[in-house]
Each structure stands twice: as C-alpha cells, then as structure tokens.
Chains A and B, each alone.
Chain A
Amino acid sequence: MKRIMKFCPGLLIIALLLLTPFASSFPDGLEKVAHDLGFISAEKHIGKALMPEYTVPMLGDNGVSTIIAGLVGAGVLLLIFWLINKIMQLHNQSH
C-alpha cells in the first residue's frame, strides 16, 4: 500500500496533464476585463518565450503540444526543488 501511495502524486499530475487540452479557451477574469474596458491593447510581449500560450511552437497549436509544454514546465519545477533538496543535503553533510 505504501508503495502505491508513493506514485500517487505523480499519477495525479499526469492525469491533470491529460486534461489540459480540454481546458476552457475563454480569457480569464483579468483578460476579460481588459477586453471589455479596452486596455488589452496595452499588452506587450517582451523577448521571446520558449513556449508561448503553453504550446511548443514546433508542434503547432494542438492538444499534444499543450501536454508536452505542461510536461516540460512540471519537469522543470520538479528539477528545481530536487536540486534545492540535493544542495541542502550536501550542505548538511559538510557540517
């Protein structure tokens, strides 16, 4: 049972990832207000994002592209916290 529990968080994240292509494409609360009040035109993009709008440019705008973009983002976050953990362990060992 404990071993099954260990994989639960990962499986949950994968399940959510598979749902991302079905997310609503309506603008969110703030964007909607910006459209309604006409200040959306003030929006600028500075620099070039690697995966704008949560899609991989090479793959176009489709479900697979969104899932892969999400997978990369989630992977980078896991990596960042894994690194923090490793650095903290090394730091503790040296004391």
Chain B
Amino acid sequence: MHIPDGFLDVKAIVMTTSISAAVIAANGKNIKKAFTEQSVPAMGMMAAFIFVAQMLNFPIAPGVSGHLLGSALVTALFGPAAGMVIMTTVVALQALLFHDGGIMVLGANILNMAVIGCGLAYIVQRLPFKGKARPVLLFISGWLSIFIAAFTAAVELGISGVVPFSVVVWPVLIWHALIGVIEGAITMVTAPFLIKILNIRPLRKQEEHGI
C-alpha cells in the first residue's frame, strides 16, 4: 500500500501533496476540537498500535501479503480529523525512519491512507444504522477504506505514467479486496475492545448526545 519513491512523477507528487495539505489545513478547526475534547495520550497509544500492527504482514495468497491499514479503526475511535492526524504521523514516521513508503511521495501516501482512508471510513460509519448493523458498518468501513486507498494509488500510478492505469488497476483492486476482508474483520472486532481498554468515549456516542 505504501508507494515508494520513483513510482510517481513530479506532476502526481505536486497534485497529491497539495490536495493532502489543503484537506488537512481546511480541517484545522476540527482537528483542534478533536484534540481538546479527546484523550491525546490515548491517540498516541493508537498511533503506536497502528504502527506495530502495520508491521505484521499476513499472507493472503502464495507470494502476496497484506497488513492492517488502520484508518477505519482510528476513525471509529477518534473521528476523521484526529484519525487523519494519527495516520499522517504514522505514515510520515514510516517514510522518514524506515523507508516504508517514499519521502518524495509522502503527500500521495498521506492522501491515500490518511485523508481518503479516514474520510471514507467516517462517511460509512456515520450512516444511520443502529444496533446489530453497527458491526457491519465497521466491517464495510474497513474494507472500503483500504479498497479505495488502493484505487487512488492506482490512479496516481496511472497519472505518473509508470504503468498504464487500465493495466495496474485490476490486480491492485483484486489483492486489496482480499486484504480488505481482514482489514474489515480486524476493525469490527477490535474497535469495541480498544474503546474499552483505552477508556474513551467513541466519537459516534459523543455526536449522538450532542456533546
């Protein structure tokens, strides 16, 4: 999922970096609100959790692995604004310290995994279904976040001309549709558990009670 340096051209780098920067800047107020109303140390714990969980590649087919993305998970816990900051911090650290994802293409990786991943997860999670449908929404938000993040990665590769979009899009989507099933399952199972052990009020409850 992490695009390395060399895959994207200048045009794609400028486009993705400006979109990421614009979305994060436009959400300045929401980010401030999220950080003042919620537990910042708990966010740090989740950032560390996501980082370590992303190291745990699991095989999905012979010769192919996948790993948790975590955008949907942090969004379920802290909402999209704080989620975006958490994912951006993780992705930036991975690029700078570990060369997992390129440094020049950091803006693109932030766009795919932090901005689109969290934004999309939030849209799915806030759909007005209650009760037994909640876990299903969590599953779909996890699946869709990684699937669409992979799709935008394919678009960026296509724009850069490193490989034609029509050639790269299908294999990328097929693998990530599979990885997404694990992503959805982990999101669905661990979100309630993490909310409990981190002792936080999930954003959905805060919004329902108008706080």
Interface residues of A (CB under 8 A from B): 5, 8-10, 12-13, 16-17, 19-20, 23-30, 32-34, 36-37, 39, 42-47, 49-54, 66, 69-70, 72-78, 80-82, 84-85, 88
Contact = CB atoms under 8 A, between A and B. Distances in A.
Contacts of A37: 163, 167-168, 171
Interface of B: 1-7, 35-36, 40-45, 47-49, 51-53, 55-60, 63-67, 89-90, 93-94, 96-100, 102-104, 150, 153, 157, 162-163, 167-168, 171-172, 175-176, 179, 194, 196-199
Nearest to B43: A81
Main secondary structure on B side of the interface with A: helix
Contacts of A84: 35, 40, 44
Contacts of A19: 56
Contact of A77 (B6, B35, B44, B168): B44
A69 to B, nearest CB: 7
The 5 closest A-B pairs by CB, nearest first: A81-B44, A44-B6, A29-B175, A49-B99, A74-B48
